[in-house]
Amino acid sequence: MGNKMKTHKATAKRFSFTKTGKVKHACQNRRHQVNLKDNKRMRHLKKGAYLHDSNVEAIKKLMPYA
């Protein structure tokens, strides 16, 4: 009987996987000092982004069942 691996919950809240295996995440810099940032910058930060391929393996280790 093998041991199950636990999912790292902080990682699970911040990242999600697409069906093709890419890792999605929300953009940063949207919480504080919003009035100092341009409307165009804030509009672009609303969209999600994909994690770089070099970091995907680390996220997969933290989320083994995703």
What is the tens place of the pLDDT at every residue in 19-62? Answer: 999 999 999 999 999 999 999 999 999 999 999 999 999 999 99
In the predicted model, is pLDDT for residue 13 greater than 80?
Answer: yes
Q: Which of 27, 56, 24, 57 is nearest to 43 (CA)?
A: 27
Distance of CA 52 to the CA centre of its chain: 11
Beta carbons within 10 angstroms of residue 63's beta carbon: 17
Separation between Cα atoms, residue 64 and residue 60, nearest integer Å = 6
CATH class (in words) of the domain with range 9-62: few secondary structures
| pLDDT at residue 6 tops 80 | yes
The model carries a pTM of 0.83
Work out the angle at residue 62's Cα, subtended by the Cα atoms of residues 25 and 11, and round it to the nearest 5 degrees.
35
| pLDDT for residue 2 | 83
